[in-house]
Structure 1
Amino acid sequence: MNEVRILVVDDEPVTRMITESVLAAQGFIVEAAETAEVALEMLADGFVPQVILLDVIMPGMSGYEACRRLRADPRFEHLPIVMLTALDDQKSIDEAYFSGATDFITKPLNMPLLPHRIRYLLRSAMTFQQLLESRETLINTQKIARLGDWELDGAGALVNCAEQYRALLGIGRLPRPAAALLARVHHEDCAALEAARSGLLKGFPYQLDYRVTAADGSVAHLHEVGYPKPGQGATGGYGYTQDITQRVVAEEQVRRLAWYDPHSGLLNRSRISELTARDMSGPEGRPLPLGLLFIQLSGLRKASLLLGQATADAALLMLCERLRQFAERALVTTADGPQQSLRRARLGRYDEADFLIALPGELPRAAWQQLAEQLLAEISAPLEVDGEALQLAPSIGIARSPDDAADVQELIRCAMRSANLAAGDPAVHIVFYDPAHDAEEASLHLLERQLRAAIDSGDQLQLYFQPKVDAISGLPVGAEVLMRWPQPERGMVSPGEFIPLAERTGLIRPMTDWLLLRAVEQIAAWQAAGLEPGKISVNVSAHSFYGGGLVRHIDELLARSGVAGEQLFIEITESILMHDREAAVQVLSDLRERHIGISVDDFGTGYSSLGYLQRFPVDEIKIDRSFVIDVDSKAGNQALVSAIVGLGRALGLSVVAEGVETDAQAARLRHLGCDVLQGFLYARPMPADQFTAYIAGATGRASPP
């Protein structure tokens, strides 16, 4: 051993000299001290030996006291200290070891044997140090891994357990750790742990996951492995326990990401489809009875576009809570008569505004109708979000296994087709699947393809113009552009059919672009012919208004045609304005800079208020036709129209009443102060050539009717 330093502490000079000589001859580096006090000073000054030979009887401090002080110093806690003394009685030997001595050698010293004793002590010290380091490494590793080991005796008592094990379980140094452990174990897992450890005592290893409850109420997940003690006749066992809470939480997060919709917390499309398929799967591949409700909420789909994503997200959470509560308390009457709860039902989000409820079991058609009506009543009430009342406009399609489909995806498609049909008919909210629906669905897909082709070709869609007249003179002051579609195979397709289809499929934006193009071209043609059509209003959808590029597209059209911005009015609804107020103000301001007029359509049906109108640079408000119908006979309608006119006057806006059909309505609207009137009383929508004749011949009334 190289560079081994030994400190010899002895008050006898001869003994010190002989010991130094013998050890130095063996290659040891030896330092000597004649008293314990001198030795302690040397150590305090930084001298660190590998072995100390310490005499017991010395003037001043005894070797016993010096040994006790050294052991109290962490630097020398495990240093080999050999006590040297002529005393060999049991009391002296005991006191030496109680003081912390590593070994005890009686005087006179056997000098030939002394170097070998020291080398043995050094090897033992090295082994012990390695053991300490290994144990420290093990402890640190167990802390990092959150793992602790333990040992059971033959009676099942914990006779040895690591500090980390106690820390995991939060049991500290208690007198009966086994009992304390069971008190911490989750009540649902106690029986399994007791059975596993009982089996361990009979020689059966185990692996088990269980939960423990901490003093603060939190729950930890533990993984435990136990082995029986090896050897003939051995009893008891040993093992380790690891905290896997983080893994369990991570797995749960992964599971939630994989199985649940992140916005609603409901099962996602993939998971509810998988679980529904499992519920449908019977023996030998035969489908089991199951019903599916496909719920479409067109109001929720529009919410994100019209009211903003934050409002839509809040509405979604409120809706999901309604659905959960419905599933908790709804009851249906089974074929046998007794009522059945929906607690076995699966509830999931299929798409942005589409939801599924899957209920295993056999129910008569009347029970499904009853269930759908209960659900409709639950979700038809408006959602109050940020002071706004959001109408969900639910439509429910119902399909049943095995009657309608034996495959889960086909069953979902059947229910979806039925919901689509319900959504397309304002008078119907619940539709059961019928094979005839397939033909109707195919017809809708065909209509979509034909509409796309009509927009692409540009030679099927037509512009119609409905005049707007001065309320006092009856003369035309402009027109609203409307779209008609004379489809070659179908004939004239109703706007009520193809406009909603365009909105659902995203075709509304290219259709609006086409409408703007043709309207500006027609204005240019009239101006070239010396005609003044007045201001031409074009309806713009939310997709076009917020989709980016609207102002640039209009700039290009005006520049190419030579038409001035003053000739054009853009009509948008109140709800479009409220979708993103900051963005709306920017778009409206850009249009205003080009002298393009802004008209708010369907005014009075949504957010009609002085506060919001003051924020937006608009020029005109159009009173919704629902207020015009009975304006000549109902005081309530008259009051509403009067209030809207007063609001318009306060802000310097022109007020237009649309849907005017009778002289009595027109007279009342003039009396209430409307500036412009529009409706069948004056003219129905007409093609461009007829409107040309209309303005050329001044066919508008020159005096009030």
Structure 2
Amino acid sequence: MTIAFPRGIGSKLLLIVLPGMLIGTVAMFLAFERIDERGRMAALQLRLDNFTITLAAALVKPLWEFDDSTVERLFAATADVPELLEARLVNADDIVMAIVRGHRAEPEGTTALHKTMALVQKSPAGDIAVGRLEVSFHDGLVQDEIHSQRAGGLLVLIGSFLLLGGATLIAVRLIVARPLSRLRDSLFRNASTQTREPLVWQARDELGEVVGAYNQLLAEIDQHNRDIHHLAYHDPLTNLPNRQLLEDRLGHAIAVAERHQRQIAVLFADIDNFKVINDTLGHKQGDRLLNTVAERIAATVRGMDTVARWGGDEFVLVLETISSPGEAASVAEKLIEAVGVPVALNTTLIRIGVSIGISLYPQDGRDVTTLIKNADMALFEAKGRGRNTFHFFDQAMNNRALRRLDIAVALRHAIAQDQLELYYQPKVDTRSGAIVGAEALVRWRRPGEGIIPPGDFIPQAEESDLIVAVGEWVMRRACAQVLSWRQQGFGDIPVAVNLSPRHFQRERDIDRIIALVEEAGLPPALIEIEVTESTVMRDPDLAIALLWRLRDHGFGIAIDDFGSGYSNLAYLRRLPIRTLKIDRAFVADIDQGKDGAEIVRAIIAMANALGLGLVAEGVETEAQLRFLRESDCTVAQGFFFSRPLPVAEFEPLLRASDPPAFAARPVLARPVAALS
């Protein structure tokens, strides 16, 4: 048989308290009864003593005078004493003269009390013993009284216990069980719902303190839940809604717009050149800039619109209930103006731009994913058109995006399947017309499509590590070609190879370039590494260290497109460069006016002062060539001399001159006479 024990704390308390009360009450009752019994027995003993003394005093004289009748009469009267068990009179000769017993026989289980007293007659001659008196009392009456009192006491005890137990039961339920039940119910209720309802409590006892702590815990849990919810849906840096909350709000806005036939605009904004600023000034200043931009964007839109941080330096805005695309364009213009206000960072005043792509509901998409994707595509288009501007999405962008994706996927196979080719563009001495080197330029001949322009696949490769693999392929082929020209008797032809900024983010990529040239057995001096100014500015210290490593191994270093980037002269002095390549945009401006020509002259003068070599890119007219020659720019390249050519078409340029010394060999397409 299984014994079911109570589970409630009130019942458990009663299970402990009531037996204790019962045991305590019974113990007290027995103790009081014992004390009462002792008192009654002491009183009985006292009565026995008094009775014996009184009777003895009355019997002495009759015994002395031999008055037997008086003795018998006095002695017989003792039989009426209720407690008397036996009285015995013994004379001086120890002869029992009289015995009297009480009317009640000795009860079973009673106790007898005995008293003996000598009977002495006082005389002038002295005290004379005339006999002795022996008296015995029993405690039967006392026991009867005790039993009678015990029965009444038990009734009182039971009644008291029931009364006290009931009061205890009520007190436990009111003071302990019911409050604990309220606390338990509150715990269950708050655990099963999202809301936290505090427990109202008036008492100031220990339970009141527990409830107070419980209510405080509820408040803290509620606050923590609010904090967690906020963190789950907001960006911790800018405190703007994050991607998840943005998608939720945009989904709701789409539902409302569909129901009421309204338009929505999604603006995808990206800070121009943020990575350069972040890397140059540090992440702390970059975070300050992000906060500033977030505040400016939020201040530009309406309260009903949503501004969210998408990630990094990207923000997405949802403009609800717009009347026309022009309204979205107006907001974009305000954003560009607001963000363009200079920002003071680390004592440096920075002017930044923002590029914005815009998609519209319903024409550009009817769901969250499509609208954001199309706005992102429009952003890409805005960046491609010069940055710090905005552009609306159109379907042609989607086609171009699909094209970029197709190229990015196919390019991986192109490297493995050897679909890439190297073209070479000659570098020409502006005075003699001799070829003094070449620049290796990669082309992709895609089966079924033909030659894909570098502008279509190089940007895709730059976005991933594919550009590193492309660069290694170019270096390997360029080394093999220089060795091939040497074997064919063309001499040592220096070749320039462009390296991507990604090569200067990891030391192992530069080590791999060095290893490729060493494996080919080619002197590194015949390879010139071309890098852009932006390559150095991404991580100047690392880039400079890696450029010096290349220079120490014997490679030539050239700055490509000089003047188009930051042109930071402080870093220029630290770079181990040998050659500056004047950007084609400045060369094109030579024909346009005095300012363009003066810029080129300034670059040439600076390079000559620093002892650097010069190459002018993009020479397309005879006037440009004449200006460069007169300005003491010794080397040029461009379509005026030759387009980039495959090896089979480039080698005839190398064979065209006599004598065979490479440095004296003129350009076949433009003989020396035409350049003078």
TM-score by length of 1: 0.59
CA contact 2:263–2:324 (8 Å) conserved in 1: no
| Distance in 1, Cα, partners of 2:295 & 2:625 | 51
| Distance in 2, Cα, partners of 1:668 & 1:259 | 62
Give deviations 1:243-280, integer Å, cap 9, x for gaps.
88876775565445433334544332222222322343
Once the two structures are TM-superposed, the CA of residue 563 in structure 1 deviates from its matched residue by: 0.9
* Corresponding position of 1:549: 508
What SS does structure 2 have at the residue aligned with 1:655? strand
Task: Tell me which of the two structures has the higher relative contact order, counting C-alpha pairs closer than 8 angstroms and 6 or more residues apart.
Answer: 2
Give deviations 1:231-254, integer Å, cap 9, x for gaps.
xxxxxxx96763888767755654
Whichever residue aligns with residue 267 of structure 1, its letter is P
* Corresponding position of 1:635: 594
* Corresponding position of 1:358: 318
Give deviations 1:146-167, integer Å, cap 9, x for gaps.
xxxxxxxxxxxxxxxxxxxxxx
1:291 is aligned to 2:265: yes
* Corresponding position of 1:625: 584
* Corresponding position of 1:646: 605
Whichever residue aligns with residue 233 of structure 2, its letter is W
* Corresponding position of 1:508: 467
Of 324, 330, 334, 1:370 maps to 330
CA contact 2:269–2:315 (8 Å) conserved in 1: yes
What SS does structure 2 have at the residue aligned with 1:294? strand
1:345 is aligned to 2:305: yes
CA contact 1:382–1:392 (8 Å) conserved in 2: no
CA contact 2:426–2:438 (8 Å) conserved in 1: yes
1:569 is aligned to 2:528: yes
What SS does structure 1 have at the residue aligned with 2:522? coil
What SS does structure 1 have at the residue aligned with 2:463? helix
* Corresponding position of 1:498: 457
1:318 is aligned to 2:293: no
Whichever residue aligns with residue 370 of structure 1, its letter is S
CA contact 1:588–1:616 (8 Å) conserved in 2: yes
Structure 2 gaps, min length 5: 1-185, 191-195, 205-210, 657-664
* Corresponding position of 1:271: 245
1:676 is aligned to 2:635: yes
* Corresponding position of 1:409: 369
Once the two structures are TM-superposed, the CA of residue 645 in structure 1 deviates from its matched residue by: 2.1
| Distance in 2, Cα, partners of 1:435 & 1:274 | 26
| Distance in 1, Cα, partners of 2:349 & 2:520 | 42
Aligned pair in 2 of structure 1 residues 610, 262: CA closer, same or farther (>3 Å)? same
The equivalences for 1:433-512 within 5 A come to 433-434=393-394, 437-459=397-419, 461-512=420-471
Once the two structures are TM-superposed, the CA of residue 648 in structure 1 deviates from its matched residue by: 1.7
Once the two structures are TM-superposed, the CA of residue 619 in structure 1 deviates from its matched residue by: 0.9
| Distance in 1, Cα, partners of 2:370 & 2:226 | 31
| Distance in 2, Cα, partners of 1:682 & 1:380 | 43
CA contact 2:581–2:615 (8 Å) conserved in 1: yes
CA contact 2:436–2:494 (8 Å) conserved in 1: yes
Aligned pair in 2 of structure 1 residues 262, 455: CA closer, same or farther (>3 Å)? farther
| Distance in 2, Cα, partners of 1:381 & 1:479 | 45
Once the two structures are TM-superposed, the CA of residue 507 in structure 1 deviates from its matched residue by: 2.7
* Corresponding position of 1:327: 298
CA contact 1:462–1:484 (8 Å) conserved in 2: yes
What do you get for the CA RMSD once the two structures are aligned? 3.8
TM-score by length of 2: 0.61
The equivalences for 1:683-698 within 5 A come to 683-697=642-656, 698=665
Aligned pair in 2 of structure 1 residues 381, 479: CA closer, same or farther (>3 Å)? farther
CA contact 2:355–2:379 (8 Å) conserved in 1: no
| Distance in 1, Cα, partners of 2:412 & 2:344 | 37
CA contact 1:502–1:508 (8 Å) conserved in 2: yes
CA contact 2:336–2:353 (8 Å) conserved in 1: no
| Distance in 1, Cα, partners of 2:435 & 2:257 | 74
Find the structure with the greater CA-based Rg: 2
CA contact 2:297–2:339 (8 Å) conserved in 1: no
Higher helix proportion:
2
CA contact 1:455–1:511 (8 Å) conserved in 2: yes
| Distance in 2, Cα, partners of 1:298 & 1:631 | 29
Give deviations 1:485-522, integer Å, cap 9, x for gaps.
23233333222222222223443222222221211121
Once the two structures are TM-superposed, the CA of residue 475 in structure 1 deviates from its matched residue by: 1.1
Aligned pair in 2 of structure 1 residues 688, 383: CA closer, same or farther (>3 Å)? farther
Whichever residue aligns with residue 396 of structure 1, its letter is G
Of 392, 397, 416, 2:358 maps to 397
What SS does structure 2 have at the residue aligned with 1:680? coil
CA contact 2:332–2:356 (8 Å) conserved in 1: no
Aligned pair in 2 of structure 1 residues 261, 693: CA closer, same or farther (>3 Å)? farther
* Corresponding position of 1:258: 232
Once the two structures are TM-superposed, the CA of residue 599 in structure 1 deviates from its matched residue by: 0.3
CA contact 2:354–2:387 (8 Å) conserved in 1: no
Pairs aligned (count): 467
CA contact 2:332–2:390 (8 Å) conserved in 1: yes
Aligned pair in 2 of structure 1 residues 608, 291: CA closer, same or farther (>3 Å)? closer
Structure 1 gaps, min length 5: 1-204, 210-221, 231-237, 331-341
* Corresponding position of 1:16: none
Whichever residue aligns with residue 276 of structure 2, its letter is A
Of 659, 662, 665, 2:618 maps to 659
| Distance in 2, Cα, partners of 1:244 & 1:647 | 72
| Distance in 2, Cα, partners of 1:437 & 1:554 | 37
| Distance in 1, Cα, partners of 2:571 & 2:200 | 71
Deviates more, 1:652-661 or 1:530-539: 530-539
Give deviations 1:534-578, integer Å, cap 9, x for gaps.
321111111122233233222322232211101000001112112
| Distance in 2, Cα, partners of 1:417 & 1:370 | 20
Whichever residue aligns with residue 615 of structure 2, its letter is V
* Corresponding position of 2:174: none
Once the two structures are TM-superposed, the CA of residue 439 in structure 1 deviates from its matched residue by: 4.1
| Distance in 2, Cα, partners of 1:284 & 1:613 | 58
